[in-house]
Amino acid sequence: MALENQIQDLVSLSHMYDSVGDITHEISKLKKKLRRMKHEVFLNLKGWQKTQVARHSDRPYTLDYIQRIFTDFQELHGDRRGGYGPSMVGGLAKFDDQSVMVIGHQKGREPAEKIRRNFGMSQPAGYRKALRLMKLAEKFDVPIITLIDTPGAYPGIDAEEKGQSEAIATNMFSMIDIKVPIIVVVIGEGGSGGALAIGVGDRVMMLEHSVYSVISPEGCASILWDDKEKVKQAAEALCMTATHLLEMKVIDEIIREPLGGAHRNHKQAAVSLRKALRANLKTLIHQSSEELIEKRYEKFRSMGAFSTEEG
């Protein structure tokens, strides 16, 4: 960014001269201007830009948040049906003094880890593991927190043979009447059914620069425009930003990110997420199972836009 370079130049200059008073003043003025500009830029990010921020490889992933927000995390592995599911992580942890079950998609940052985590695209085993952990949480009256960050469920031969569709469907079917609170947060990419498979809850929130969509802009562009290059138009048309989803009442709350996006400041992003989790958990934990389930059902029951007149 040009402004950033300008500041750098002034900083170097200030080291060369003795009378730096004026320059320091100049620097701080420019820094303020930069902050304000960044703020405005990030406030007005469009669908495709948001998608790129949401996919940024320095963005905190599930395990980064777990490490910063929870204590005593005990990871629990496997679906007990012959599958490991490396793209999904989960386990018990302490949140303040409360035991919680944390479950989320996991992407890899380094090349080898990216491959091991299958780029956050879960196999059926991942969804089945997630459900197993949710049932475990339910049995011991432990609230559930899920973190969504996936391009989508894995499209592969193996995944189909092992029932990818059934795994996703069964999760939604089962989550709707789990007897403990479920808080869902989209922390990065909310990719279609692969996201929704851990996305049914009492509170659904999105980080400010995350996205949540029925299909990726790339997929939509190639199907509806017949042109892979039309990603910007597709991202815009799909209305996949947190602001859009809040308007459509698909989510309950937007969690603010540090200036420039969560990838710029993991610590502050975690503080923001922790605050939102704490506030929501506090209200949900006092509700009876019956109340939770009834409201959760109503929440998803009411989603949709239709009329009884011909459009």
Partner 1 sequence: MSWFDKLKVKTGLGPKIAKPEIIWIECKGCGEQLYIAEVEKNLKVCPNCDYHFRADARERISYLINPGTFVEHDGDLTSKDPLKFKDKKKYKERLRATFKKGYSHDALISGSGVLGDHPVEISVFEFKFMGGSMGSVVGEKITRCVERAIKNNNPVIVVSCSGGARMQEGILSLMQMAKTSSALKKLSDHKLPYISILTDPTTGGVSASFAMLGDVIFAEPGALIGFAGPRVIEQTINEKLPEGFQRSEFLVDHGLIDNVVHRRDMKKTLNNLLSMLANKPILKTVETHD
Query: Binding residues for partner 1, per CB under 8 A?
Result: 153-157, 159-166, 168-170, 172-174, 176-177, 192-193, 196, 199-200, 212-215, 219-220, 223-226, 233-234, 237-240, 244-245, 248, 250, 297, 300-301, 303-311
Residue closer to partner 1 (CB basis): 286 or 301: 301
User: What minimum distance in Å lies between the beta carbon of 298 and partner 1?
Assistant: 10
Residue closer to partner 1 (CB basis): 20 or 169: 169
Residue closer to partner 1 (CB basis): 60 or 199: 199
Pairwise CA distance, residues 45 & 209, whole Å: 8
Bridging pattern class, strands 98-105 and 182-191: unpaired
Orientation of helix 124-139 relative to helix 164-175, angle to 10°? 20
User: What minimum distance in Å lies between the beta carbon of 61 and partner 1?
Assistant: 21
User: What minimum distance in Å lies between the beta carbon of 9 and partner 1?
Assistant: 45
Residue closer to partner 1 (CB basis): 106 or 192: 192
User: What minimum distance in Å lies between the beta carbon of 100 and partner 1?
Assistant: 22
Per-residue CA distances from 300 to 176, 194, 296 (Å):
9, 17, 7
Residue closer to partner 1 (CB basis): 21 or 156: 156
Torsions phi, psi for 22 (to 5 deg): -65, -45
User: What minimum distance in Å lies between the beta carbon of 157 and partner 1?
Assistant: 7
User: What minimum distance in Å lies between the beta carbon of 206 and partner 1?
Assistant: 11
Burial class (CB in 10 A: 0-12, 13-18, 19+), 177: middle
Nearest alpha-carbon partner for 100 in 122, 77, 64, 71:
71
SS3 track for 258-281: CCCCHHHCHHHHHHHHHHHHHHHH
Per-residue CA distances from 298 to 146, 303, 305 (Å):
20, 9, 15
Pairwise CA distance, residues 26 & 48, whole Å: 35
Residue closer to partner 1 (CB basis): 145 or 240: 240
Contact present, 100 and 93 (Cβ < 8 Å)? yes
